[in-house]
Structure 1
């Protein structure tokens, strides 16, 4: 059974590729040097440094496998700058019921970074905004209750 495809922006895809390249080259080398230093220190049976290096190596290799899997299933959604409706890759400005503006970028699940305003297209807000345009008001059901947002701007760049 094949794994489902993962939609993401080109920027998100490139970021995953950069992370994979870093882990396969620079990070592997760093861990190898750390492990070599631990081995040179002597008895490996009681070497906390060697155990730490092995743990880092294991975590790095697991992340490499995860990144390779995501990249192999990735479908890059090309952005259309003329698009006026909210979709993957859109930068959206909304206004909440109290008049406060919020800026979001709608991204794929694995690109989410809430602190940078990147929200998943699968999140409650992302789903509510999907397919909507400037001037529309959407109601979002969240864990702390419902909230309405008016869409002020939609851009793709």
Structure 2
């Protein structure tokens, strides 16, 4: 049995929206591409047909992946009064050099470091879990340990 992964409602809804798009719009686009390639004739040397088949395979693999993620997720509702950093928290931290960083703590499936969304299972997410504003935490990073001070914790 697969381990259930925590996810915010927003993240769950986004995955569901992506899955719906892939099952409807994207499948239709790929089907149209295949139809066009088939209508062109000889499929043995058709790059367009080969490309459409590859797109179909990738799309179906992504659909399976998203279905698995949605089936094996537990939605953690955000908001309300919470003590310290947890799933759904938007936090502002300061590193030892005085540079500020904004993060949102999300489930593993939702993590996107380029958007500041870090997993609750990541080293930073685990170190910050349960901590309150003003706390200092030490995090083992790829380049060594780094200290962060929590400046702000918000739930929206």
Matches within 5 A, 1:8-27: 8-27=7-26
TM-score, length of structure 2 as denominator length:
0.97
Post-superposition CA distance 1:27-68 (Å, at most 9, x none) = 000000000011011100010110110010011011111111
TM-score, length of structure 1 as denominator length:
0.97
Matches within 5 A, 1:46-61: 46-61=45-60
- Tell me which residue corresponds to 2:65: 66
Secondary structure of the corresponding residue to residue 86 of structure 1: coil
Distance in 2 of aligned mates of 1:119 and 1:18: 21
Answer whether contact 1:84 1:155 (CA < 8 A) is retained. Answer: no
Secondary structure of the corresponding residue to residue 83 of structure 1: coil
Structure 2 residue 40 is the aligned partner of structure 1 residue 41: yes
- Tell me which residue corresponds to 2:124: 125
Consecutive unaligned residues in structure 1, runs of 5 or more: none
Q: How many residues align?
A: 156
Which structure 1 residue ranges, 4+ long, deviate > 4 Å from structure 2? none
Secondary structure of the corresponding residue to residue 99 of structure 1: coil
Consecutive unaligned residues in structure 2, runs of 5 or more: none
- Tell me which residue corresponds to 2:27: 28
Distance in 2 of aligned mates of 1:20 and 1:143: 34
Shift of 1:80: 3.1
